[in-house]
Structure 1
């Protein structure tokens, strides 16, 4: 028995349905053939040359990444450009590239639910619902079982996500009970978090204008980095896929890619947290 790529895509559809992807996204099979046999799977966050090399070393012909290898429409394939070089590398090596992106973020049990669960949030719901029952959508908001001081919440985030940094905008509240979050670039949901009464909003890639808005609105806005807030979903996807493959795929090896964040903190510029981050109040 052998597992075809189109069957693998059906399995992934059951895990993260395509209709939950944002309109701007590009998911599914991006390089390859639906009838190709799947001989090994490598799952990672970013489609990089290093990740494709890992796939070849592990004898995997199928690569599933969170971020799509083709995101914006291509007008040319010129091989001195990074994206074209990556696609050429995949094609010459016979690798198939599949993306599970915002559909995996938004689905019930996906990235944002995983983050919420890891932080101990209860009674979670989407910040921006996409389904009629309100169970699935972008971001999450929920409540801690017990209120935490700002420093305690920061320690929880650091222990759970091990982020390379924690940036903050706005002043922290006296205590934190209602928490909103969105893995990856989530500035667009800051106002939704505020309107739903979140005392803190945890995300990544916070824009300057959104940080200023949070200051004015009185929302404590935390940026823990794109990589740190998304990479936990890779191991979870590997487990779900292993559990969901049909008998034809039972013996197919599934590997988790070895990846490092592309951004590194060279200098914090200070030896201690400023008072407005540490939770001290005037």
Structure 2
């Protein structure tokens, strides 16, 4: 069986750590690099329910997209969600690795996969990486349809492949959608960059109010599919890539993806009469 460190080294082939943004916190965040690994659980978010599942089902290693430790910790209180997660990981000898903006930045990462499942042919990164990369690395992707489709068909594709709990839009709908920018997660600050690249639509998440107003005046169709929905599909891709790399090395590992649900949902609202 490989060690945590040996497993981490195959991650460097898939999602090189040097591609992470300067403000990010990636890599091995909890655990012993020399510990052997048999069972790995991949997930978008490091939640308390995730660490409970990992302990119950005896996983040795958790690999999440979002890091459990993002800002420096001045204290570790185990009655808080982060403290409980970290304490349970240590108590159960579960390593924790974060693979965040480095997985965003590789061509076949979060945004590249998002473009692919929407049927787009990827052209280039939306925001090229400043780090050394032999491929077209960067945040977001700009892709094209061989034959432009209607705005309604584009919305239908989003609904089909992402199943978002909501889909918000700002700015005018174009008559046809040929070139599209996508950026999984919170990327609305890149809207002007997308506009300059001549896209017909920009799909991302957590669109700011000011960006939505800007889109109205700038004439760019901006869509907000939710942070979870635009990123979570790539967890299956990451699992598949890890299994391929493990197989090449003759490692027999169990690598599963946790089936998480979006943390945000549409609120149930009663009738006007019921609220009177």
Q: Map residues 216-235 of structure 1 onto 2, 5 A cutoff.
A: 216-235=217-236
- Once the two structures are TM-superposed, the CA of residue 253 in structure 1 deviates from its matched residue by 0.9
Greater alpha carbon shift after TM alignment, 34-43 vs 54-63: 54-63
Partner of 1:85: 84
Q: Map residues 1-282 of structure 1 onto 2, 5 A cutoff.
A: 2-130=1-129, 131=132, 135-245=136-246, 250-266=251-267
SS in 2 for 1:126: strand
Partner of 2:273: none
- Once the two structures are TM-superposed, the CA of residue 72 in structure 1 deviates from its matched residue by 1.1
Any idea what the Cα deviations from partners look like across 1:192-220, whole Å, max 9, x if unmatched?
10000111000001111111111121111
Superposed CA RMSD in Å reads 1.7
Contact 1:187–1:207 (Cα < 8 Å) also in 2 = yes
- Once the two structures are TM-superposed, the CA of residue 58 in structure 1 deviates from its matched residue by 2.2
Hey, what's the Cα distance between the residues in 1 that align with 2:246 and 2:208?
A: 40
Hey, what's the Cα distance between the residues in 2 that align with 1:44 and 1:94?
A: 18
User: What stretches of structure 1 move > 4 A for 4+ residues in a row?
Assistant: 131-134, 246-249
State the TM-score, normalized to the length of structure 2. Answer: 0.93
Contact 1:3–1:249 (Cα < 8 Å) also in 2 = no
SS in 2 for 1:127: strand
Compared CA separation, residues 88 and 164, structure 1 to 2 (3 A): same
The count of residues paired between Structure 1 and Structure 2 equals: 268
Compared CA separation, residues 197 and 7, structure 1 to 2 (3 A): same
Contact 2:2–2:251 (Cα < 8 Å) also in 1 = no
Compared CA separation, residues 161 and 253, structure 1 to 2 (3 A): same
- Once the two structures are TM-superposed, the CA of residue 132 in structure 1 deviates from its matched residue by 6.5
Gaps of 5+ in 2: 271-276
- Once the two structures are TM-superposed, the CA of residue 156 in structure 1 deviates from its matched residue by 1.0
Any idea what the Cα deviations from partners look like across 1:45-92, whole Å, max 9, x if unmatched?
100111111112222110000110101111111222221121112111
Greater alpha carbon shift after TM alignment, 80-89 vs 211-220: 80-89
Any idea what the Cα deviations from partners look like across 1:123-161, whole Å, max 9, x if unmatched?
421011115667110101111121111111101111111
Gaps of 5+ in 1: 270-282
Contact 1:201–1:222 (Cα < 8 Å) also in 2 = yes
